[in-house]
Structure 1
Amino acid sequence: MGKEVYRCIECSDKASELYRDYNNGILKITICESCQKPVDKYIEYDPVIILIDAILCKTQAFRHILFNTSLNIHWKLCAFCLLCEAYLRWSALHGSEQSGDPADIIRYTKEWEFYVMFGLAALELAAFCGGALLFLWLWVGALQGGSVQLGPLLRALLLSCYGKVLLVPVVIWEHEYSLFCLGLIKLFVLTSNSQAIRVILNSCRRLSVAAVVFGFLSETLVARACQQLPCSI
């Protein structure tokens, strides 16, 4: 562990280790030299507590996940979220044809329109991430002369889209407030995206919000352009 670089979840200062092993099962959490607080208290916490703090968009929880863990499920999570969004769009397109039969999901996968919806969702996500990353690269890299590592930022953006999983219960528990729920989910995802950018860059909130807004505008423009296509569903 000594060669890896971690981050203090309180002040974001670098640390060489999270804890020290004194053998015989004796572990001592490393204290940050900058803020004199534990580098990462979450290594002793249950994953459920960490998830709850992440849902609450706590900066410490985001730093723990993005810097001090080897969580590399962002591409799998991205694919699952895209499937959820494609299923939601499919169900909205064929709402009157739905039934309570669980075998319907198998029928959906045989329909070409389902894959078209998946492609559109993937294109919009790519536009969002590309727009946000382009804004950060131009603002931080070109205008301020700083360095931007796009890889960690992309990983953070994809991981912070975990809120899209909530699209599934919205479809299952269909009611008249579905549009309101979808709006809340979108707001939650954008808030998580902003917090993830802020944690990675250790920047002010205004910069992360501006990047998310730019990405959202890019996503909206791509969605509108796709709707104008002659072959659009």
Structure 2
Amino acid sequence: MEEDDFRCVECNEKASELHRDYSNGILKITICESCQKPVDKYIEYDPVIILIDAILCKTQAFRHILFNTRLNIHWKLCVFCLLCEAYLRWSLLHVSEPSSDPADIIRYTKEWEFYGMFGLAALAACCSFLWVVCQLQGGTLELSLLLRALLLSCYGKVLLIPAVIWEHDYSPLCLGLIKLFVLTSNSQAIRVILNSSRRLSLMAVCLGLLSETCVAQAYKKLPWSFRDIVDV
């Protein structure tokens, strides 16, 4: 890693190293010159503790993950989250069409509408990201870093799968809470990347959500569907 690649998890100041390796396996955590605290206390923590702090949306945990680690699973996580959201959207299309015919399971596996929902989820995510970029273009913005942060902060969407599998009367409430958690994580990621105020990050996320909702509503008003294309 290059110099000044790291950040202090407490004050966000740049640092050249997280720890210094002395002889005989002795490691000493680097102290931040600005706040006089360890640059990254999480390098000694168990991954489970880091995950819990990230779920609690702690700023220090987000800085550790986004700046001081090289976690390169964001594209895989993005595809998985899009599949989860596409499955949720697709399943909601048939929630009003109950059937006791076992053959329906086979018919559903061939539904082209699932691919349409996947494309819609991807398009909505792109529109949301572009809207966030447009709102924040006035500051110093690294698009690749912001994109990575937003993708990693969408990890809460994996909860959509158990929410759909264990369907019950409170599913709308569960889905709403999952959406709120994802938006909170997105807001915290933007705040950490840009070192901005909470108000700015919340505004960017809300406007991104608005653009995503507009895309979804526009898709519903289209006079055709994927099923019509396949039948033709």
- Asked whether the two chains share a fold, i.e. TM above 0.5, the reply is yes
Q: Report sequence identity in percent.
A: 74
Is 1:37 equivalent to 2:37 in the alignment? yes
Q: Distance in 2 between matches of 1:19 and 1:2?
A: 14
What is the correspondence of 1:64-213 to structure 2 with a 5 Å cutoff? Answer: 64-95=64-95, 96-97=98-99, 110-137=110-137, 141=138, 146-213=139-206
Structure 2 CA distance for aligned equivalents of residues 107 and 150 of structure 1: 42
Displacement of 1:129 in angstroms is 1.0
Corresponding residue for residue 12 of structure 1: 12
Unpaired runs of 5+ residues, structure 2, are 227-232
Q: How many residues align?
A: 223
**Structure 1 SS opposite 2:129:** helix
CA separation in 2, counterparts of 1:98 and 1:169? 23
Letter in 2 for 1:88: L
Structure 2 CA distance, aligned partners of 1:123 and 1:194? 20
Q: Cα–Cα, structure 1 residues 61 and 97, in superposed 2: closer, same or farther, change >3 Å?
A: farther
Q: Distance in 2 between matches of 1:81 and 1:108?
A: 21
- Deviation of 1:167 (Å): 0.2
Q: CA deviation at 1:33?
A: 0.5
Code of the residue aligned with 2:222 in structure 1: it is L
- Unaligned runs of 5+ residues in structure 1 are none
Aligned-residue offset at 1:49: 0.8
Q: Distance in 1 between matches of 2:100 and 2:7?
A: 49
Which ranges of 4 or more aligned residues in structure 1 deviate by more than 4 Å? 97-100, 106-109
Would you say the 8 A contact 2:3–2:15 is kept in 1? no
**Counterpart contact for 1:81–1:164, Cα < 8 Å:** yes
Structure 1 CA distance for aligned equivalents of residues 187 and 173 of structure 2: 21
Cα distance in 1 between the residues matched to 2:212 and 2:174: 20
* Structure 1 length-normalised TM: 0.90
